[in-house]
């Protein structure tokens, strides 16, 4: 057996660019080889995502219908009740999900909401599920409170490259995102961080986004790779659709640069053919969100995912199993 690909955090742009631009079959072969060295290639993690507070966000993310600034006019809601979150998590577990992700449309949580967030984490943990939250930027005290409540993962996507960042978001900086990621990791919470491709960025931006994650002091435990879902009335509503091969290249690059991370095939799967998703799994994606909604966007229904899994011979990772070899 070949030696496993080393875990590196010193990748250069030249190396990453050369990998991304390999002949497609060579790129897929390398990514799949790396994937097999660290994971069972026929297992995929199933997670469920619930919006616990929708709309009215103060950020101006150009892709997002939940921004109060960009014209999508999605009605703002209050933080939902703790017991409802736990009830939805129980349903998700019965449907085969092993990780439960809770997302709120905030720039950052307010102190008055922290007790409810802690109760949500504790309640979902009591079901035997892994917990993940995405709440925007966190200060040190908030990080410690969530950690002490038992939060397993914190999602905080960097969205795109540092160069292209201000074209997508102006209400915070790329450095703000990195600061929160470092704060979370240093507190002992696992990091979930990826981005979105197909937002009108250049190929080098997709490479630099993955490179920024792969050169963190510790790689994210989970790397969501989202394909833009253009939403009416947002600034990116009419952006040109990304070539599917470019998307698969992004997945493959994530797998090669971050061999032990779960690479999650996230938003945009409703626009992907079964064959495109299968190619992404071959390239190293080994995590998906299940359920017909991702926050406010559509997602394939669970029976459609299961039909694809059956055709490909893929099984879901068991609770408490990270799928690694």
pLDDT in tens, 107-154: 889 999 999 999 999 999 999 999 999 999 999 999 999 999 999 999
The residue ranges of every structural domain in the chain are: 24-312
Tokens at residue 322, please? 């990270």
pLDDT at position 58? 78
Which among 134, 125, 138 has a CA at the least distance from the CA of 99?
A: 125
pLDDT of 69 > 70? The answer is: no
| Dist. CA 282–CA 32, nearest whole Å | 6
Q: pTM of the prediction?
A: 0.90
Which residue among the candidates 249, 255, 264, 269 is catalytic per the annotation?
Answer: 264
The torsion angles phi and psi of 47, rounded to 5 degrees, stand at -120, 160
264 among known catalytic residues: yes
Q: 13-67, pLDDT tens digit by residue?
A: 999 999 999 999 999 999 999 999 999 999 999 888 888 987 768 788 888 877 7
Which residue among the candidates 99, 145, 185, 192 is catalytic per the annotation?
Answer: 192
Which residue among the candidates 61, 99, 145, 249 is catalytic per the annotation?
Answer: 61
* Annotated binding residues: 57, 61, 64, 101, 132, 192, 264
pLDDT at position 242? 95
132 among known catalytic residues: yes
pLDDT at position 295? 47
User: Which strand (E) or helix (H) includes residue 48?
Assistant: strand 43-53
Choose the weakest-confidence range: 38-47, 221-230, 268-277, 294-303. 294-303
* Contact call for residues 115 and 146 (beta carbons, < 8 A): no
Which residue among the candidates 64, 99, 183, 255 is catalytic per the annotation?
Answer: 64
Domain topology for 24-312: TIM Barrel (3.20.20)
* Contact call for residues 286 and 262 (beta carbons, < 8 A): yes
pLDDT of 294 > 60? The answer is: no
| Dist. CA 206–CA 33, nearest whole Å | 22
101 among known catalytic residues: yes
- Confidence grade of residue 82 (pLDDT, cut at 50, 70, 90): very high
321 among known catalytic residues: no
* Annotated binding residues for [4Fe-4S] cluster: 57, 61, 64
Q: 161-174, pLDDT tens digit by residue?
A: 999 999 999 999 99
* Chain mean pLDDT for the chain: 90
């Amino acid at each position: 057996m070949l030696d496993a690909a080393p875990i590196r955090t010193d990748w250069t742009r030249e190396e990453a660019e050369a990998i991304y631009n390999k002949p497609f079959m060579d790129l897929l072969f390398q990514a799949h080889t790396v994937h097999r060295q660290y994971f069972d290639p026929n297992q995929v993690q199933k997670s469920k995502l619930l919006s616990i507070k929708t709309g009215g966000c103060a950020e101006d993310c150009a892709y997002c219908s939940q921004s109060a600034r960009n014209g999508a006019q999605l009605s703002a809601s209050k933080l939902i009740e703790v017991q409802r979150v736990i009830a939805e998590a129980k349903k998700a577990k019965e449907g085969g999900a092993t990780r439960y992700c809770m997302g709120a449309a905030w720039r950052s949580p307010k102190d008055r909401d922290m007790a409810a967030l802690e109760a949500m984490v504790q309640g979902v943990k009591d079901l035997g599920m892994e917990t993940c939250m995405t709440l925007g930027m966190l200060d040190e005290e908030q990080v410690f409170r969530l950690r002490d409540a038992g939060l397993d993962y914190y999602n905080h996507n960097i969205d795109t490259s540092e160069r292209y960042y201000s074209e997508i978001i102006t209400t915070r900086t790329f450095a703000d995102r990195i600061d929160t990621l470092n704060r979370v990791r240093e507190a002992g919470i696992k990091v979930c961080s990826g981005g979105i491709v197909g937002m009108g960025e250049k190929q080098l931006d997709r490479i630099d986004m993955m490179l920024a994650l792969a050169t963190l002091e510790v790689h994210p435990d989970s790397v969501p790779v989202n394909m833009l879902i253009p939403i009416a009335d947002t600034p990116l509503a009419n952006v040109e659709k990304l070539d599917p091969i470019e998307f698969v290249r992004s997945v493959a690059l994530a797998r090669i640069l971050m061999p032990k991370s779960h690479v999650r095939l996230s938003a945009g799967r409703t626009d992907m053919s079964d064959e495109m998703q299968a190619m992404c799994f071959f390239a190293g994606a080994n995590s998906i969100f299940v359920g017909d909604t991702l926050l406010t966007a559509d997602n394939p229904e669970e029976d459609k995912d299961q039909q694809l899994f059956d055709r490909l011979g893929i099984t879901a990772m068991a609770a408490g199993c990270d799928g690694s070899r």
